[in-house]
């Protein structure tokens, strides 16, 4: 299928913005803004699939990319939905409500709409990769799938280890140091970041293929400086105190590394 590039982008943004508006109303009624994370995962995947449908690259490669981003979104979105549906609102969003006070719903609506734009920014890696018309398969395709598989496996293991730890009532208020969480304070974030390099490898030979780096570069910025690690660690310090400070002192913040002795 072919369509003007501008129309594809406008259509993707319009659909995602509408989804975010609907889910903003859902959170207003349910008092749980964590649903925005679910919407971002599913929305980014759907935008990525749309970019594959309307891409100009080899059909087989576009089908591969659409499958990868679709499976990623389904896994992450389902995992986040289970958390939102079974747990109280994430402490990060409770803090935002306190900060915004009586105007919280207005700012939450803006926040949800910003997420719609972010979905397009992250999915731009898929847009450029889906323009790769080189003969399929190529070495970079195998490399990309390999990176994707390792990253998704790592993220899935990290999520399950944390969920298993949290499900034990005896661990309430404690810090998870099991499995990957003994080597990184945020192994799920690390493997989420690595996963985006799979699309970089697959799309590198496309026209302007270097722009596939937008995904992992923006993801790293968000994880390290904006919506990922900073608010997550602030909430952990509020809820776990000194035990989490020791964890910070002994375990790598992002890249999995052998734990070090307390300093």
pLDDT of res. 225? 92
pLDDT of res. 263? 46
- 96: confidence class by pLDDT, cuts 50, 70, 90: confident
pLDDT in tens, 39-85: 999 999 999 999 999 999 999 999 999 999 999 999 999 999 998 88
pTM equals 0.92
pLDDT of res. 136? 84
pLDDT in tens, 209-250: 999 999 999 999 999 998 889 999 998 998 899 999 999 999
pLDDT of res. 229? 95
- 1: confidence class by pLDDT, cuts 50, 70, 90: low
Q: Looking at residues 159-170, what average pLDDT do you find?
A: 94
Locate the domains of the chain by residue range: 5-250
Mean pLDDT of all residues belonging to the chain: 93
Other beta carbons less than 10 A from residue 153's beta carbon: 11
Q: Could you give phi then psi for residue 172, rounded to 5 degrees?
A: -60, 130
């Amino acid at each position: 299928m072919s369509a003007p590039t501008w129309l594809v982008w406008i259509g993707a943004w319009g659909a995602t913005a509408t989804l975010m508006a609907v889910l903003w109303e859902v959170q207003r009624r349910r008092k749980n803004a964590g649903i925005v994370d679910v919407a971002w995962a599913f929305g980014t995947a759907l935008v990525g699939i749309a970019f594959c449908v309307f891409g100009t690259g080899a059909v087989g490669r576009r089908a591969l990319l659409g499958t990868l981003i679709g499976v990623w979104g389904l896994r992450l979105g389902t995992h986040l939905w289970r958390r939102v549906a079974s747990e109280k609102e994430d402490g990060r969003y409770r803090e935002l409500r306190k900060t915004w006070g009586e105007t919280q719903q207005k700012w939450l609506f803006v926040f949800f709409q910003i997420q719609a734009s972010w979905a397009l920014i992250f999915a731009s890696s898929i847009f450029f990769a889906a323009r790769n018309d080189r003969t399929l398969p190529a070495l970079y395709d195998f490399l990309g799938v390999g990176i994707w598989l390792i990253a998704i496996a790592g993220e899935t293991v990290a999520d399950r280890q944390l969920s298993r730890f949290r499900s034990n009532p005896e661990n309430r208020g404690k810090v998870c140091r099991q499995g990957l969480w003994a080597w990184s304070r945020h192994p799920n974030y690390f493997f989420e970041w690595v996963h985006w390099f799979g699309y970089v490898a697959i799309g590198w030979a496309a026209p302007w293929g270097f722009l596939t780096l937008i995904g992992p570069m923006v993801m790293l910025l968000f994880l390290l400086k904006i919506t990922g690690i900073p608010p997550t660690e602030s909430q952990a310090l509020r809820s776990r105190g000194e035990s989490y400070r020791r964890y910070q002192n002994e375990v790598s913040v992002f890249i999995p590394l052998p734990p070090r002795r307390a300093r």
